[in-house]
Amino acid sequence: MATLTAQQLGHLRHFDNLSRQQPNDWSLMQGKGTGQEDFGSYRFQLAYMAYALALTHRHHLPAAPGLFQPTIVRLIDKILLPETWLYWRDLSRGGAVANAWLGTLPEEWNPVVRDNIMYSAYVQSMALLHDYMFASDRYAQPESLTFHHWSYFWGGEEKRFAYDRDTLNDHIYWQMVENGYLGVACEPNCVFQICNQPAILGFRLHDLITGTTRADEVVAGYEQAWADFGRLDTNGHYNMMISQDTRAVRANEAPSPWVDAWCGALMNMWNHDFVHDNYPRQSKAFYRHKPDGTVSVDPAPARYVQGNRVISDTCNFGWTAVWAAEMGDTPNLTGMLKHADTYMNPTWRDSGLYYPRNDTPTDTDGNLTEIEPMTGNVLLAYARLNVPDGLWGLYNTPWPPSHFTQPALVSVSRDVDVSQAEVIDGTLITRLRRDETLPGDGIVHVGRVPGHWQLRIDGQPANIRRVDDHLVLQAKPQWQTYTVEPRP
């Protein structure tokens, strides 16, 4: 495995920094939309940071669980905060453009009890990602996924809805079954293809933990249910959604890059050949190539509904980059990342790399400059950290049980960067550097090391320190390679 680049490490650090912000400190994360209703909302940023971390752990740093686990736990803590789900109290009432004929429904406080797969599936899949990747039962504990809100100023009695990874997974599964495997709605009556893909990932992860086969069942049912309507519209782009009551399908009008890109990047995990076969034709409509080698997409056109401009974060550029990465389209991905680095103000903050929000569509030369927090914090990082068919690999090539018995970095101080961590023939090889601008002691603990071991630093024998059942490594300000191998 290649070592991570400075930019990739910067993205990981930015995720960690955001995860450490105080509860309800959403600095750098607020997009143009209001009320956490649109595609740039906190829930999506938190979930895809966790997905990107999982992909990095799986494909780049498999022997560094201690680097990723604490960050993912903090991201799950944040997605459970009321600020990420209180929008559902209002959206659950319907009466929107896409479901106006339903009238106004009773408000629903429980954010996962019905519909709202655009939130519930992310909580489900994040919790199961954690427990699968770290061989943990943290979120199997009763009430480990609890949605709680009480206000001194309004709202009456406290609202409290308790779940865990198994009860939430079961609840979403039965919603799928009751709707004939067509999917669970986001807003009332509106079943989006995109937002049901994370639930399928969750089912697969639950199967890997428990030995069940629900993902296979759901995928087979989903294929059959959508066969009557077609996953693609008449122009070959992914259909966006279907109405539960009328079974009317809404095509990808225009078409919009984010619909094909988001759906294709996720659906690839279980429908590889179909997605790859359609990618060249679908994506050709979106990429804009410039003489300087950069690649971008057109700015999202203004949309007006009932005389009002729709204010939202489409994240067209970010999702198209994620799609290219999953498809292994290196030329277009490289061009998009070059465009971001040239025109989207890459910024370093507390050793983390991100692209700050910019609401201006283009510069004076017509180069795309608009970027949302979802893209600048998360999606470009996800694209840069992923590998070709990365989500497919996470879904289809799980770690063998022996993986969880091999030596690993089980604890990593906040001020340590890890650019390599893998086990080759029983020997742990890791590359570490201490960032003295950050708090921490530079200590890394290596676990799963019974018996006697020997340490080399940059190829030279070194003393090894053991504390209880862990070996202790001390990172230095310069990059060093640490080799921990069993000693006869």
Each residue's pLDDT expressed in tens, for the chain with a length of 488 residues: 889 999 999 999 999 999 999 999 999 999 999 999 999 999 999 999 999 999 999 999 999 999 999 999 999 999 999 999 999 999 999 877 777 777 778 899 999 999 999 999 999 999 999 999 999 999 999 999 999 999 999 878 999 999 999 999 999 999 999 999 999 999 999 999 999 999 999 999 999 999 999 999 999 999 999 999 999 999 999 999 999 989 999 999 889 999 999 999 999 999 999 999 999 999 999 999 999 999 999 988 888 888 888 888 999 999 999 999 999 999 999 999 999 999 999 999 999 999 999 999 999 999 999 999 999 999 999 999 999 999 999 999 999 999 999 999 999 999 999 999 999 999 999 999 999 999 999 999 999 999 999 999 999 999 999 999 999 999 999 999 999 999 98
What domains does the chain contain, in order, with CATH numbers? 6-402 (1.50.10.20), 406-486 (2.60.40)
The span from the CA of 384 to the CA of 418, in Å, is 16
pTM of the predicted model, to two decimals? 0.98
Cross-strand partners of 465: 472
Size (the chain), residues:
488
The span from the CA of 452 to the CA of 485, in Å, is 9
The span from the CA of 431 to the CA of 449, in Å, is 18
Sheet architecture: strand order including 443-447: 408-412, 443-447, 470-474, 465-467
Evaluated on CA atoms 18, 22, 24, 26, the torsion sign reads: negative
DSSP state, residue 238: B
The type of residue at 438 is: L
Tokens describing residue 286:
């979106």
B/e letters for 405-439, b = 16+ CB within 10 Å, e = fewer, are ebbbbbbbbebbbbbbbbbeeebbbbbbbbbeebe
What H or E segment, with its residue span, contains residue 43? helix 42-59
Look at residues 137, 135, 146, 91 and name the one whose alpha carbon lies nearest to residue 115: 91
**Helices and strands in the chain: count of H runs, count of E runs:** 16, 20
